[in-house]
Amino acid sequence: MNSKSETDEASRGNEASSSNNESTPSIPKSHSVAGLCADTSSNKTKDIMKRAAAKQLIERYFYQLLDGCGNPECDNQYCASSGEARNLTPNEAAAEAIKLFYTEARLCDSLPSKMPRTDPSINIVCPPTPCVTGTAMNIVMEDNISDFPSCSSSRFMDKFKPDSSQQMDSKNIRHNNGAPLTEERIYQLCDECLQSKKPQYLIRALAEAFTQPAVLARCFQRKLGDTDNSSEGKNKPDKESKAMCSSSDPDKDVDSVTGPGLDVASCRRAFQYLAKVPSEYYSSALVTALSTLAENLIVEMKLSKTKTLTLDDTVNCFVIAFEVPDLGCSRYLDIALPLLCVAAENLPVIAQAKLARIWAQYCKDSLRHILETLQQLITLRVISTNYVRNFQLQDDHTVTMATKIMKILYYANMLAGVMEPSTLREEPVVIASQLDPLGDALDHLYPLSSIKNLKQAPYEDPLAIELGINVLDARKPYLPFEEFYNEPLSDTIEMDIDLANCKTDVDDIGNKFSFLKYPFILTAATKSLGLYYENRIRMYSERRVSLLHAVVGAAPPMPFLRLKVRRSHIIDDALVELEMIAMERALDLKKQLVVEFEGEQGIDEGGVSKEFFQLVVEQIFNPDYGMFTQRPDELTVWFNPTSFETEAQFTLIGIVLGLAIYNNIILAVNFPMVVYRKLMGKKGSFEDLADWNATLYNGLKDMLEYTGSDLEEVYYQTFRICYTDVFGNNIFHDLKENGDDIFVTQENKREFIDLYADFLLNKSVETQFKAFRRGFVMVTDESQLGMLFRPEEVETLVCGSKNFDFNELEKSTEYDGGYTAESQTIKDFWSIVHSLSLEDKRKLLQFTTGSDRVPVGGLSHLKLVIARNGPDCARLPTAHTCFNVLLLPEYENKEKLEDRLMKAISYSKGFGII
């Protein structure tokens, strides 16, 4: 080949690229490859074209000397494939390439396998990726070449460039020179580093790969013919594999036979082997390299007009970066990880979905490590930062970016676990829009009245839509959902500000971040506070709208949802009043509840409502009432499929449950978990039988796991089932037409089990549950209940915590009226309380707070106040249940205190004015 003609052709190709900026990426001249940089002081197009052509030819000479052209029959003495060229180090090859360029030595027709490829239509080498200024490192070819004209230096690489005394035989250690890393290459570099105690080659290889996204994206590629698990369990390649890796024959070169796609298992094994090398050898350099990688990815995704990376390449970079084993070390947390989180924010939704799927399918073993690292970053940032009113947690970019990438991990965690089909969904409940004609007419006169319309379209996460995933479908996530809670963050957050941000259109006003749109990171107690604020705002809005009605004389003011009931007829009175309200104006259900017991003087500031709900629940869920049945084994209640009550009655029970959540009142109900899943919109399935009827579930599970061919004879079960009604009568039901003639076999047992579970949990109580859910939705349709809470959290919201830790209550209790924690009466009080049985402790809670349930988050969230109520006397202790205040006289001794306290909690009932 004539090298002169090559130069002319390259020059013409460069002219073409100069006239068409869309053909090649726009690369800053200061960031040239192969140690060359354009002459920025020259404005002449001719000089620029010459330099570009020269750069391309020198690169070709360099890779030809180092890696060869790939032709095993090559006879070019200046090509490594011919066998005639001596083995050169990268420094020697670079110097020799310049000499060959000036002498116009022979170039092979084919390109070396590891040489950067040119655009097919333009004979100019495309750089791997643009670099950025600042902390970014411009990793280039060895630049210690005195003959190289206008050569820019890489200070970072100069620090680790071995001197002549450190040069090694390239047969044993071959430089990457910008080529992708492989598992075998990491093994070689680590072995050499451990043997020689000199990390320069390892550092250089990691830096070359991790600073350039285009190179990193091609690292650890899956080999042709390999399956995902083909090399699983290999800790180190054998000698034959090592020999293939270092061979100059491209047919045996592992890099030359890699196929498309990232081999995550290979990447993980390589990093596990890297962990054998002392981290002080490479940690600092890798932190810097990862920081540069993040900056380059930001440039590529956000600033670069012409993209040089595909979405798959970009995703591969993040997968590899988060597999680094030392990611949780302090230097990574302080420098590299925040930058990676910022870079991940720029990923388009489709790329985030790809990353989630890869993590779910190939990186299950890494999910906990990544999650713990992100949690550590957030926690350290939260506890070390003093947030003030003008710099809230939501303004902390480090925390918010880590939360955003944790969302990708959250969905990956669901995909990696057990998922159910999205087809098992309850039909949505449609509530007719409740319009207030007068309120609408006043909107233009009184802008305040528009506050009443707080209903917004439910927020739908774009990533969840892209993945086609819903938390209701996650039967068992790979990691427990609770591991995503961050308690320091939940305790620090100002929920009123976060709720305001959530209600603001973040795309239009100030990019306000709201953790309520990332509810997986918040504890149930913190989210319940957000729901409480939202409900209170709606109550106040309804109250103000009622006052506006009164101003214009349109209707008498009704600022509250007022119920007046008799203790002896509490169910009849309550349900009749609620039915009238639901029929006439369902919007009144959104008002603050105020309960009045006929003949009693108690003023409802919350305590009267608590007792009202307790009495209603005790009666309505009593099996004697006939609407619900109690399962003795599981101590739970279930809908009576043969109930004689109307659908309206079940609707009203649903309203009661919704009102309890809306008014922040905990109920003593014992529904199985499937009820809360169904309330959130997910139908019951076979796995829900586990806590609905454990005996039946275990029997069906044994059938499912039975593999014998004689299943039909062993179980002798047909598609006709028998169940017992509330009166003890046996009722038969065919799961399929002529079910009694169809026996359960190995082929149809899964169908039988699914039909059986569907009938018991869905079809048999369809009428009752639909009415019940409709009443529940009438109250909660405008709240963010479904967006914020999983079914397990809704149960906690309704029933409270199950952790009766009175030590927490003692720590959180405040004192008034002269009492302190050191008062003898207080010490005696807590000594008595801690010795009580669980039943008596429940009575104490009932007496002091109006509810025997533990609030969401535990007793530490119950702000009990014990106030001194005079000196020693014969009076019993009293309580203001609305405000959780216990009025306790200063009794003369412990025995008298115990006697008076036990009488008070055992015989308390009713309300009076104190």
- CATH code for the domain in which residue 584 is found: 3.90.1750.10
Residue whose pair of structure tokens reads 């009045």 in the numeric block = 596
**How long a stretch of residues is the chain?**
914
pLDDT above 60: residue 452: no
- What mean pLDDT is predicted for residues 211-231? 72
**Region at 770 (left for phi over 0; alpha for psi -120 to 50; beta for the rest):** alpha
* 761 phi and psi angles, rounded to 5 deg: -95, -20
Note the pLDDT tens digit of each residue in 232-259: 443 444 433 333 333 333 333 333 333 3
pLDDT of residue 294: 92
Q: How far is CA 648 from CA 662, 681, 750, 885, in A?
A: 20, 21, 36, 39
Alpha-carbon gap, residue 751 to 131, rounded angstroms: 58
The CATH number covering residue 816 comes to: 3.30.2410.10
**Does 676 share its domain with 694?**
no
pLDDT of residue 516: 92
Number of neighbours of residue 459 by Cβ within 10 angstroms: 12
* Three-state secondary structure string covering 448-497: HHHHHCCCCCCCCCHHHHHHCCCHHHEEECCCCHHHHCCHHHHHHCCHHH
> DSSP letter at 300?
I
**Does 667 share its domain with 575?**
yes
Closest CA to 295 of 213, 205, 408: 213
Pairing between strand 885-888 and 865-868? parallel
Structure token digits, residue 736: 């399929």
pLDDT of residue 432: 62
Alpha-carbon gap, residue 650 to 776, rounded angstroms: 10
| Within a domain: 327 | no
Please enumerate in sequence order all residues whose Cβ is within 8 A of that of 484, keeping only pairs 6 or more positions apart, or say none. 371, 406, 410, 413, 520, 521
pLDDT above 90: residue 502: no
Note the pLDDT tens digit of each residue in 586-596: 777 888 888 88
> DSSP letter at 128?
S
Alpha-carbon gap, residue 668 to 528, rounded angstroms: 18
| Within a domain: 456 | yes
- Tally of CA atoms within 13 A in the half-sphere of 877 that contains its CB: 28
| Within a domain: 877 | yes
Please enumerate in sequence order all residues whose Cβ is within 8 A of that of 429, keeping only pairs 6 or more positions apart, or say none. 770, 773, 774, 777, 781
pLDDT above 60: residue 122: no
Q: How many domains does the chain have?
A: 5
pLDDT of residue 317: 93
pLDDT of residue 509: 45
pLDDT above 60: residue 230: no
Indicate the average pLDDT of the chain. 76
The domain containing residue 755 runs over which residues?
Answer: 688-761
pLDDT of residue 159: 39
pLDDT above 60: residue 497: yes
pLDDT above 90: residue 914: no
| Within a domain: 207 | no
Lowest mean pLDDT among 133-142, 595-604, 875-884: 133-142
**Does 680 share its domain with 699?**
no
Note the pLDDT tens digit of each residue in 164-177: 333 444 444 445 45
**What per-residue string of b and e applies to 467-497 under the rule 16 or more CB within 10 Å gives b?**
bebbbbbbbebbbebeebbbeebbebbebeb
| Within a domain: 295 | no
Structure token digits, residue 176: 């990457």
- What mean pLDDT is predicted for residues 700-716? 90
Please enumerate in sequence order all residues whose Cβ is within 8 A of that of 360, keeping only pairs 6 or more positions apart, or say none. 411, 412, 413, 414, 415, 416, 478
pLDDT above 80: residue 912: no
pLDDT of residue 678: 94
Domain boundary among 102, 127, 152: 127
At position 823, the amino acid (one-letter code) is S
Alpha-carbon gap, residue 415 to 421, rounded angstroms: 12
Determine the 3-state secondary structure of 878 from DSSP: strand
Q: What share of the chain is helix, strand, coil (3-state, %, to 5)?
A: 55, 10, 40
Domain boundary among 532, 549, 569: 532
**Does 414 share its domain with 427?**
yes
pTM, 2 dp: 0.72
Do 417 and 475 form a contact (C-beta atoms < 8 A)?
yes
pLDDT above 90: residue 382: yes
Determine the 3-state secondary structure of 569 from DSSP: helix
More confident residue, 668 or 533: 533
More confident residue, 267 or 27: 267
Alpha-carbon gap, residue 786 to 208, rounded angstroms: 48
pLDDT of residue 677: 94
**Does 380 share its domain with 476?**
yes
Lowest mean pLDDT among 18-22, 76-80, 731-735: 18-22
Angle (nearest 5°) at CA 758 between 754 and 760: 120
Please identify which of the residues 190, 267, 799, 882 carries the catalytic annotation: 882
Domain boundary among 77, 99, 127: 127
Do 698 and 710 form a contact (C-beta atoms < 8 A)?
no
Do 258 and 297 form a contact (C-beta atoms < 8 A)?
no
Alpha helices in 327-396 (DSSP H): 330-331, 337-345, 349-362, 364-384
* 913 phi and psi angles, rounded to 5 deg: -85, 125
pLDDT above 60: residue 21: no
pLDDT above 80: residue 526: yes
pLDDT above 50: residue 496: yes
Lowest mean pLDDT among 233-242, 253-262, 377-386, 602-611: 233-242
Structure token digits, residue 177: 């020179």
pLDDT of residue 456: 53
Note the pLDDT tens digit of each residue in 330-351: 788 888 999 999 999 889 999 9
Any long-range contacts for 870-878 (C-beta under 8 Å, 24+ apart)?
872/896, 875/900, 876/900, 876/903, 876/904, 877/901, 877/904, 878/904, 878/914
Structure token digits, residue 600: 């009693």
Do 392 and 494 form a contact (C-beta atoms < 8 A)?
yes
Structure token digits, residue 286: 């890798």
The most distant pair of C-alpha atoms in the chain lies apart, rounded to whole Å, by: 116
The CATH number covering residue 718 comes to: 3.30.2160.10
**Does 460 share its domain with 491?**
yes
| Within a domain: 333 | no
Rounded to 10 deg, the angle between the 364-384 and 397-416 helix axes is 160
**Does 781 share its domain with 854?**
no
Number of neighbours of residue 445 by Cβ within 10 angstroms: 10
- Tally of CA atoms within 13 A in the half-sphere of 23 that contains its CB: 16
The residues pairing with 563 across neighbouring beta strands, listed in sequence order, are 595
**Does 352 share its domain with 467?**
yes
**Does 474 share its domain with 579?**
no
Model confidence at 574, in pLDDT bands (50, 70, 90)?
confident
CB-based burial label for 722 (10 Å; 0-12, 13-18, 19+): exposed
- What mean pLDDT is predicted for residues 738-767? 92
At position 629, the amino acid (one-letter code) is T
Note the pLDDT tens digit of each residue in 809-836: 888 898 988 888 888 999 889 999 898 8
pLDDT of residue 259: 34
Alpha-carbon gap, residue 56 to 897, rounded angstroms: 94
pLDDT of residue 406: 96
pLDDT of residue 855: 77
Do 516 and 502 form a contact (C-beta atoms < 8 A)?
yes
CB-based burial label for 652 (10 Å; 0-12, 13-18, 19+): buried
Please enumerate in sequence order all residues whose Cβ is within 8 A of that of 792, keeping only pairs 6 or more positions apart, or say none. 481, 673, 676
* 255 phi and psi angles, rounded to 5 deg: -70, -30
pLDDT of residue 38: 35
Pairing between strand 730-734 and 814-816? unpaired
In the residue annotation, 882 being an active-site residue is answered as yes
Which range is most confident: 144-153, 213-222, 504-513?
A: 213-222
pLDDT of residue 51: 58
Do 866 and 901 form a contact (C-beta atoms < 8 A)?
no
**Does 754 share its domain with 616?**
no
Q: How far is CA 724 from CA 59, 411, 632, 642, 764, in A?
A: 84, 42, 14, 10, 12
Rounded to 10 deg, the angle between the 524-551 and 791-799 helix axes is 70
Do 262 and 220 form a contact (C-beta atoms < 8 A)?
yes
pLDDT of residue 458: 64
- What mean pLDDT is predicted for residues 531-550? 78
pLDDT of residue 161: 41
Do 185 and 202 form a contact (C-beta atoms < 8 A)?
no
**Does 594 share its domain with 525?**
no
End-to-end CA distance of the chain: 107
Q: How far is CA 307 from CA 65, 125, 291, 311, 534, in A?
A: 31, 16, 20, 10, 44
pLDDT above 60: residue 118: no
Share of the chain above pLDDT 90, in %: 26
| Within a domain: 607 | yes
**What per-residue string of b and e applies to 519-533 under the rule 16 or more CB within 10 Å gives b?**
bbbbbbbbbbbbbbe
**Does 650 share its domain with 781?**
yes
Angle (nearest 5°) at CA 352 between 349 and 354: 115
Which range is most confident: 129-138, 429-438, 514-523, 578-587?
A: 514-523
Model confidence at 53, in pLDDT bands (50, 70, 90)?
low
pLDDT above 70: residue 457: no
Model confidence at 34, in pLDDT bands (50, 70, 90)?
very low
Note the pLDDT tens digit of each residue in 395-437: 999 999 999 999 999 999 999 999 998 888 888 877 765 544 4
**Region at 716 (left for phi over 0; alpha for psi -120 to 50; beta for the rest):** left
pLDDT of residue 555: 59
Please enumerate in sequence order all residues whose Cβ is within 8 A of that of 196, keeping only pairs 6 or more positions apart, or say none. none
| Within a domain: 289 | no
pLDDT above 50: residue 785: yes
